[in-house]
Amino acid sequence: MKKLPAVLLSLSLSALVACSQEEDTNEITAPQKVTSQKIIIGSHGSDADIWKFIAQSPEAKQANLDIDVKIIDDGITLNVATIDGDVDVNAFQSWGFLKDFNKNHNNQLTAISTTYFEPMGIYSVKHKKLADLPKQSIVAIPNDAANHIRALKLLEKSGLIALKPNFNQATGSTNDIVSNPKDLVFRQIKYAHGPRALPDVDIAVIGNTAAQEGGLNVLTDSLFREENDETIINNINLLVVKTDNKDNPKFAKLAELYHTEAVRKYIIDNFGGTKIEITKNVSELN
């Protein structure tokens, strides 16, 4: 066998080493495709609009989240869908609403973050002041337990009624009214139906999400409204998951996304100051 010249042998070895190094370099620097984490958020109304904005935001992409917003209009149905796994997280309900639901569903849902507080208000298209209400005025109030109780507390604070001193914040009803000087007549309606009920009643107590969907601004259109004080704990809105999923880190990312400056600006620009950001930890709720 003929011997290769030393120079040729050296060049061949050098080429092999260079190719090997190039392959190693390619293996190290080749970009790795990262699969986004899919999250289905159940919501409705203005809450859904906020999460659609978040889903398309650069911050969501940076967090590696693929957020799909699923619209479910009824709160009980939405909570059941969260338990059943049809949605991963829901964004629509207050702390009081969640507590009331959990009492009847074995605490199967858990709040993972606070989001905002929006005032409930008393509205009318027939009267300009509560003092103008005639005797036996018709009052529309929500029929779900949490918002029903909230409405009664607001009516008491306005001076229209008085409730028992030991009024139960979980089970209270119109049966607990001990003073009703104007002999108000109460009509219970679905939470979302408040704005459309206005032509048929003297006043309606309406939550802000429903009010906004009806073109109302609680700060400018209501005759009386809740204030952001120590009494609003039960009215703080939340992100909620099935209790089995409460420690899943990908859901914790949602809370971080909600409390970014971009989302804060979107909410201010689109909701006229009626959604007040709450950063209180859920462990502080009672």
CATH number at residue 273: 3.40.190.10
Statement: residue 167 has pLDDT above 60: yes
Same domain, yes or no, for 237 and 180?
Answer: no
pTM, rounded to two decimals: 0.74
CA distance 52 to 67: 8
Q: What is the pLDDT of residues 211-267, one digit of tens each?
A: 988 999 999 999 999 998 888 998 999 999 999 999 999 999 999 999 999 999 999
Kindly state the helix (H) or strand (E) to which residue 26 belongs, with its residue range: helix 6-29
DSSP 90-156: EEEEEHHHHHHHHHTTTT-EEEEEEEEE---EEE-SS-SSGGGPPTT-EEEEE-SHHHHHHHHHHHH
Structural domain count of the chain: 2
On whether residue 28 sits in a domain, the answer given is no
- Give tens-digit pLDDT for 39-73: 999 999 889 999 999 999 999 999 999 999 999 98
**Structural domain boundaries enclosing 134:** 121-226
d(CA 124, CA 10): 94
Q: Are residues 133 and 44 in the same domain?
A: no
Q: Do residues 252 and 222 share a domain?
A: no
Tell me how far apart the alpha carbons of residues 122 and 224 are, in angstroms, rounded to a whole number.
Answer: 5
> In this structure, is residue 207 part of a structural domain?
yes
pLDDT band at 1 (very low <50, low <70, confident <90, very high): very low
Percent of the chain residues past pLDDT 90, beyond the cut:
78
Domain final residue pick, 226, 259, 275: 226
